[in-house]
Structure 1
Amino acid sequence: MRSIRFLSIAGTDPSGGAGQSADLKAASALGAYTTSVLTTVLAQNTCGVREVMPLPQAMIRAQLDAVFDDIAIDCVKIGMVSDLDTAHLIREFIERYRPAHVVLDPVMVAKSGDMLVDRDGFHAVRDILIPVADVITPNLPEAAVLLETDIPENHKGMEAMLPGLGALGCDIVVLKGGYLAGEVSNDLVLTPDATHWLEAPRIMTRSLHGSGCTLASAIAALLPRHDTPIEAIREAKVYMTRALAAAERLEVGKGQGPVHHFHAWW
């Protein structure tokens, strides 16, 4: 069996815990061959975001051309997209090459609370990219932005969000419940035929940097290996929980440290 070919389309994190760094680490840890297209250069670390600089369209197009012209991509994870032009460009390539699995992490709010996109970036994610994705993985603040509503305070509030998120045009929604308080960190998954609660104990750690990027990339890397999407999402949830449980072994950064992508190897 040939390798799974994974593509990350995302922004940087020079501290190594989020963005494209997290994507490539997670997919590699789960056995995929990783490729990458950079959309945005960020100056950020475990304490917060300092600067955001989108790359020129010509360079993003050149990267997409280079990857798709040469490599048969099985799964794509889309992360940081800060403007409409970049969203249209990514959509053009997704529709042209039709990779089997596309996972969109609607990156709009950093763990530090920093907004990463402006109004154009919001429309780029909601109106252009969600309809061409197979799976979206919003956290609760991102879901609230997408639906222009308040952040839910409990599981019932999460359930109330699901129809609106499903109506945005993506078949599978993974609504992450990590922002809620309590001893559990449960996610709610909408598939075309059912809803599923994925249960996990809450890992008491400050090392949450890049957790959203990591889960979305894990789902993308695992989708080609499973008969049904929910099986891949369940396995990704287990991987994520273990990465969080081992995170503080890394002792990286002064703020919210990164999750431990290679917990099973180091």
Structure 2
Amino acid sequence: MIDSTAAAPAPRSSAPDAAPLTAVVTGASSGIGRATAARLVADGWRVLAVARREDRLAELAAETGCEVLGVDVTSDESVERLVARTEELFAGSLNAVVHVAGGALGVEPAAEADLAKWQRMYDINVLGAVRVTRALLPALRTSGRGDLLFVTSVAAQEAYPGGSGYNAAKAGEHMLAGALRLELNGEPIRVIEVAPGMVATEEFSLVRLGDRAAADAVYDGVENPLTAEDCADVIAYALGAPHHVNLDLVTVRPLAQAAAHRVARHQGI
């Protein structure tokens, strides 16, 4: 159970004895997705946590009591299983989809782009989010109180050298959220975007760079980079706010980071 000094509003329902709110969280095997699933369970939500790595999900289920399902957001067949499991668990009525599945691959300049990496980033960050949204939107509509929350990145807002592929993918996800907000206007479905800056998780930089020493160097000298739990706090607050309150876009950075490419670093920290 995640302890936070900035507690989110308690999940609200129409009556004191109403069923708890329900959520699907993608990318839940590690990092922000894992922390978000744990935080929502601690706040009283029923959570279906999904990711590709079922062994990691089993550990999360044992620790938190959430439901889990192995899902690859780039696969139509896999997402169909997600729809069926959501129907089984939540009777086709779903309150939130938290899109965390994503990630960055490589830091090559655009002139040396590895197009396979660019394709993979687009498939996960953009098409994966579209695929899951399209599949679960009927359940969000049925609930009468739905949320689509996209975890993007400051990379969607600020280009930086070596970031072009990830910049493009996250900018695509940012535009997806913006278009959905317009398309769903008038329906009881909020579209929320949380854009983290530098977050020190166990895998993000390692997957991107492929080397532990290089991944650790990303955070060298940075005092208190964000944690996955910091991001989960923001997500939980956004989802727990009164449903007429929509946090369109929340950009969250550590104090040490003024921009994607400008970070204060100190010796001996």
Bigger-Rg structure (1/2): 2
TM-score normalised to the size of structure 2? Answer: 0.43
Point out the structure with the larger strand share: 1
TM-score normalised to the size of structure 1? Answer: 0.43
